[in-house]
A and B are shown apart, each in its own frame.
Chain A
Amino acid sequence: MKWTQFTFMHEWALAEAVASAVLDMVDKEGLKTVSAINLEVGELQQIDLGIFRFALSELFSGKLKDARIHITKTRASLKCRKCGHKWTFRKVGLDESEREAIHFVPEIAHVYVKCPNCGNPDFEVERGRGVWIQSIKGEKKA
């Protein structure tokens, strides 16, 4: 994926969502500071991890400013609901505009991707869709 302004901007919106969600978790768990944030990023959304990390570092302040960000990238695994065939997103041949559309809305994969075994468009994304917060670690308020 190219390091373009186009992609930077979408990564920024998702990073904002992560920052907002983490702050909600900090309030809920009564944390004073956050030392680590563990994220999972699914391959289907094709997020540029370098840009995503940069956006997170720009957005994390206050209680989050010293948080170590750990990102696990999950391979996108697809399973046909008709014939049960499993395959990975990597093996799908798409042009740049189709990949870009899936980057913005991963479910758009159902428009462009078909089961390589039976041609059915009805498949399940078993793993690796988008961004998830796995856990956060921090120090509780006294």
Chain B
Amino acid sequence: MSDPRTAIIGERLKDVKNVIAVSSGKGGVGKSLVASVLALSLARKGAKVGLLDLDFTSPSSHVILDAGRQKPKEDKGVVPPTVHGLRYMSVVYYSADRATPLRGSEATDVLVELLAVTRWGKLDCLVLDMPPGLGDVTLDLLRFVEGAKFLVVTTPSKLAFETVRKLLDLLKEAKVPVIGVVENMKADDSQWIKGRVEPMGVRYLGAIPYDSRLEENIGDAEGLLRTRFGEAVREMTGKIEASP
């Protein structure tokens, strides 16, 4: 027996020029915020941008964007709603934002189902808000979405970077392109992360300063773009767009 859904994924993504997977080795480093604000920043520069939340058991981009009010439409599949100028898709549209306990193989099935039925149309960039770590969704993304490029988020923490180092090693072994590493929540001038990223042959894209005003702007897309966090992400979009 064979699963027919995987055969249509390439067709569904054929008009998407770039897929950027915003990823990290562990949770709590700000992946969802970086993914959401990066998507907003690219869209504000005139690009057609999609955002897909692949953190099925702990989705948060819908809270960051206050995306709960819109719903996907059906047109020979599922057409994502437009949220603050982004074509946005999340499993919360089906879970009613309730707890979604999934085993790894079940998360794989959700990934395949969403990739098989979602019609993104023409996009300059599809940003993926990845779950943390090297689990099934990350491995299946490498399996099913050819050409995805990874943007890796860390914090200044040695513990966070230890998990990021393993993710970077995996991506290098799998010959997956890495756009670079973003250091989030930076509170001092330490070069410790940069000093470890660059010798790995990976680009250090820059630091996002710790921003105490970020939390009060959660749910306010325009407010997020005006924070120091938003400014720092916006400054990086040029480097990210220029990535080969």
User: Looking across the interface, which residue of chain A has its beta carbon closest to that of B107?
Assistant: A107
Minimal Cβ-Cβ distance residue in A for B94: A101
Contact present for B91 and A105 (CB under 8 Å): yes
Given A108-B91, A108-B95, residue A133 in contact with residue B1 (CB < 8 A):
yes
Q: Which residues of B contact A134 (CB under 8 A)?
A: 1
How far apart are the CA atoms of A121 and B100 in the complex, in Å? 9
Residues in chain B near residue A104, CB distance under 8 A? 78, 94, 113, 117
The answer, among B11, B99, B109, for a CB contact under 8 Å with A111, is: B99
Decide if B74 touches A107 in the complex (CB within 8 Å).
no
- The interface stretch among B2-10, B28-36, B37-45 is B2-10
Q: How far is the CA of A25 from the CA of B2 in the complex (A)?
A: 10
B window 60-111: CB within 8 A of A: 74-78, 91, 94-96, 98-103, 106-107, 109-110
> In angstroms, how far is the closest chain B Cβ from the Cβ of A16?
6
Q: Is A132 a contact partner of B100 (Cβ separation < 8 A)? A: no
Task: Give the contacts of B132-165 with A (CB-CB under 8 A).
Answer: none
Number of A-B residue pairs at CB separation under 8 A: 102
Contact flags A75-102 to B (C-beta < 8 A → 1, else 0): 0000000000000000000000100010
Give the interface size bracket for A toward B: 20 to 34
In A94-142, the 8 Å CB interface with B consists of 97, 101, 104-108, 110-111, 121-122, 129-134
Interface size of B in residues (CB-CB distance below 8 Å): 33
Assess whether A3 is interfacial by the CB under 8 Å rule. no
The distance from the CB of A129 to the nearest CB of chain B, in whole angstroms, is: 7
Residues of B with C-beta under 8 A to A129: 109
Set of chain A residues within 8 Å of B113, measured between Cβ atoms: 104-107, 130
Residues of A within 8 A of B21 (CB): none
Query: CB-nearest residue of chain A relative to B103?
Result: A122
Q: Once the chains bind, are A9 and B109 in contact (CB under 8 Å)?
A: no
- Given A9-B77, A10-B117, A121-B101, A17–B5 Cβ distance below 8 Å? yes
A97–B110 Cα distance when bound, in Å, is 18
B116 touches A (CB below 8 Å): yes
Task: Find out whether the CB atom of A14 lies under 8 angstroms from the CB atom of B7.
Answer: no
Task: Write out the residue numbers on chain A whose beta carbons fall within 8 Å of the beta carbon of B107.
Answer: 107
Note all chain B residues with C-beta closer than 8 A to A107.
102, 106-107, 109-110, 113
Residues of A within 8 A of B77 (CB): 9-10, 12-13, 16
- Report the Cα distance A21→B7, complex, angstroms: 5
Which of A18, A21, A24, A110: most chain B CB closer than 10 A? Answer: A110
CA distance A24 to B94 in the complex (A): 31
Which A residues are CB-close (under 8 A) to B110? 105, 107
B114 at the interface (CB under 8 A from A): yes
For the complex of A and B, list the 8 residue pairs with the smallest distance between their C-beta atoms, beginning with the closest.
Answer: A13-B77, A21-B4, A21-B7, A9-B74, A17-B8, A101-B94, A20-B7, A13-B117
**B-to-A contact residues, CB < 8 Å:** 1-8, 11, 74-78, 91, 94-96, 98-103, 106-107, 109-110, 113-114, 116-117, 119
9 contacts between A and B (CB under 8 A): A13-B76, A21-B3, A106-B113, A107-B102, A110-B101, A122-B101, A129-B109, A133-B1, A133-B3
A residues within 8 Å of B by Cβ? 5-6, 9-10, 12-14, 16-18, 20-22, 24-25, 40, 97, 101, 104-108, 110-111, 121-122, 129-134
